[in-house]
Amino acid sequence: MAESNDVAGEGVWGQLQGALKNRLNTQAYATWVRQITCLTDEPKRLLLGLPDMFSLDWVNNHYRHVFEEELIKIAPDASLDLKLHEPTSPPAQAEATLPTMPAAPASDGWTAGPRSPSAAQPKATAPAQPPPIQINTAPMNDRYTFDAFVTGPSNQLAWAAARAVAENPGTAYNPLFVWGGVGLGKTHLVQSIAHLLQTRSADAKIHYQTTEQFVNDVIHGIRFERMESIRSVYRACDLLIIDDIQFISGKEACQAEFFHTFNALYDAKKQVVITSDKLPREIKDLEERVRSRFQWGLIVDLKPPDLETRIAILKKKAITDALNFDDQILSYIAQNVRSNVRELEGCLIRVGAYATLSKREPTLELAQEVLRDLFPSQGRLTCDGIVKHVCGYFEVKVIDIKSTKRGRAIAYPRQIAMYLCRKHTASSYPEIGNALGGKDHTTALNAFNKIKKRMAEPEVQRHVEEIERMFLK
């Protein structure tokens, strides 16, 4: 079929665009979907072209699952492929070099206007009318308050720092940088700051934003020459919270924008709060000047809660959700889920739902029956599973870790993977070598010994333990 990007409602791509328009917010749709060129539109294959590498990566990493979820409803047999398709100019390497669209009409600034489902789709190369800019704070969860946050040795300091910031914004610790593993309460804690500040000072301008949305805003601003409008929103805050800042890695233009916004707020004694799943020094492809700003204030971490805290969290959650579970059930869950509070809560909800639906009393036996399969024992771990965790942790591709590449960025994760495979599976060294792309058994053996020795280094030990927490619940 002929190339097109302006059909709405026709063919698989037209229907998918309609579905995406409903599912994504206006800005995300305008920034990412409108620039797509449909290259093949067949019931079994949809091939979409993105105009530069940055967009291709971004859509693949952040929206591909949404595309796939919607596509399956429209054409269950269709496969989805995304590729670089650069119609007029040479491929851009980073967002700083994104093709700039024609200037916006000077008047409209940013508006929180409604979506316009019937708006004609501009051609990717020359949109007649840039879409309105919408800069909303991301939705917050009312339940995420200090009162609902259970404290223990793993999070006491972070909790106290967050409270101090909410009570004295802009003076206590600026910025406050909260870091910790997935599901350990970063978002909960920083939203608690927003809620407390709002109750104490109803006029405070609070902007809570995910990094993904911040990046969307900045790219949208660059593309449609509306950066001034975007800046005026971000720089007018009394409290700016940016959640999951690690996603800013490698995005130069967004880092520059963050840097200037940070400086403006800091100089005006306004509070900045940042969360991350990594320490500043571990965020890859981050400008030094940005990294150094992260370290200006206070860095606090959320560690996995100990058993007592896990039980206390479950008790509180059970009360909130009116689940009348006895302590045995709570201990059983707390003993088996060690590193992620979200999963801890998920188990409780699952047992509650199962008891209600099957009209049975919530007993320990019932909990064991419902949850047993969710608690993986070490015996079920495979080399492939471990390799995937290691790749996810270090943000490297499985294909690279299995390749013959020797740079430290790949070789070190590969050695860690080999070490963990040996430690947690019954696989032999030849099998482990094989699982890592057909390496020799001596490579696997040497890697194991090397990492075992290097476990004396705190950083290596931490890497290993954090990955283990991902699969040993």
Residues at the interface with ligand ADP (CB under 6 A): 144, 148-150, 155, 180, 182-188, 313, 341-342, 345
In the bound state with ligand ADP, the residue whose beta carbon lies nearer, of 183 and 413, is: 183
What residue 131 binds from Mg ion, ligand ADP, none (CB within 5 to 8 A, per partner kind)?
none
In the bound state with ligand ADP, the residue whose beta carbon lies nearer, of 195 and 424, is: 195
In the bound state with ligand ADP, the residue whose beta carbon lies nearer, of 37 and 210, is: 210
What residue 29 binds from ligand ADP, Mg ion, none (CB within 5 to 8 A, per partner kind)?
none
Residue 131 CA, chain-centre distance (Å), reads 26
In the bound state with ligand ADP, the residue whose beta carbon lies nearer, of 45 and 315, is: 315
What residue 200 binds from ligand ADP, Mg ion, none (CB within 5 to 8 A, per partner kind)?
none
Among 5, 55, 134, 187, binds Mg ion (CB under 5 A): 187
Residue 465 CA, chain-centre distance (Å), reads 21
Task: Name the closest residue to ligand ADP (Cβ).
Answer: 185
In the bound state with Mg ion, the residue whose beta carbon lies nearer, of 187 and 339, is: 187
Min dist. Cβ of residue 60 to ligand ADP (A): 22
Min dist. Cβ of residue 420 to ligand ADP (A): 23
In the bound state with ligand ADP, the residue whose beta carbon lies nearer, of 50 and 241, is: 241
For the sheet with 79-84, list strands across it. 37-42, 45-50, 79-84
User: What is the length of the chain?
Assistant: 473
Could you tell me which residues come within 8 angstroms of residue 271 by beta carbon, excluding any fewer than 6 positions away? Answer: 165, 169, 170, 174, 175, 176, 238, 239, 240, 265
Beta bridge partners of 72: none
Min dist. Cβ of residue 199 to Mg ion (A): 22
What residue 149 binds from ligand ADP, Mg ion, none (CB within 5 to 8 A, per partner kind)?
ligand ADP
Q: Yes or no: say if 64 and 6 are a contact pair by the CB < 8 Å rule.
A: no
Min dist. Cβ of residue 469 to Mg ion (A): 17
- 19, burial (CB in 10 Å: exposed 0-12, middle 13-18, buried 19+): middle
In the bound state with Mg ion, the residue whose beta carbon lies nearer, of 149 and 325, is: 149
Min dist. Cβ of residue 44 to ligand ADP (A): 38
Tell me how many residues contact Mg ion (CB under 5 A). Answer: 2
Min dist. Cβ of residue 394 to ligand ADP (A): 19
Min dist. Cβ of residue 446 to ligand ADP (A): 36
What residue 179 binds from ligand ADP, Mg ion, none (CB within 5 to 8 A, per partner kind)?
none
In the bound state with Mg ion, the residue whose beta carbon lies nearer, of 186 and 226, is: 186
The closest alpha carbon to 124, from 151, 98, 106, belongs to 98
Min dist. Cβ of residue 69 to ligand ADP (A): 21
Min dist. Cβ of residue 275 to Mg ion (A): 6
Task: Name the closest residue to Mg ion (Cβ).
Answer: 187
Chain positions 249 to 308 lying near Mg ion, rule: CB under 5 A, are: none
In the bound state with ligand ADP, the residue whose beta carbon lies nearer, of 82 and 344, is: 344
What residue 188 binds from ligand ADP, Mg ion, none (CB within 5 to 8 A, per partner kind)?
ligand ADP
In the bound state with ligand ADP, the residue whose beta carbon lies nearer, of 214 and 429, is: 214
What residue 51 binds from Mg ion, ligand ADP, none (CB within 5 to 8 A, per partner kind)?
none
Binding window for Mg ion (CB under 5 A); candidates: 48-56, 116-124, 180-188, 222-230: 180-188
Strand 79-84 to 176-180 pairing: unpaired
Tokens of 388: 């995937």
Min dist. Cβ of residue 62 to ligand ADP (A): 17
In the bound state with ligand ADP, the residue whose beta carbon lies nearer, of 185 and 433, is: 185
Binding window for Mg ion (CB under 5 A); candidates: 103-111, 184-192, 347-355, 433-441: 184-192
Binding window for Mg ion (CB under 5 A); candidates: 105-113, 181-189, 252-260, 343-351: 181-189
Min dist. Cβ of residue 4 to Mg ion (A): 38
Residues that bind Mg ion (CB under 5 A): 186-187
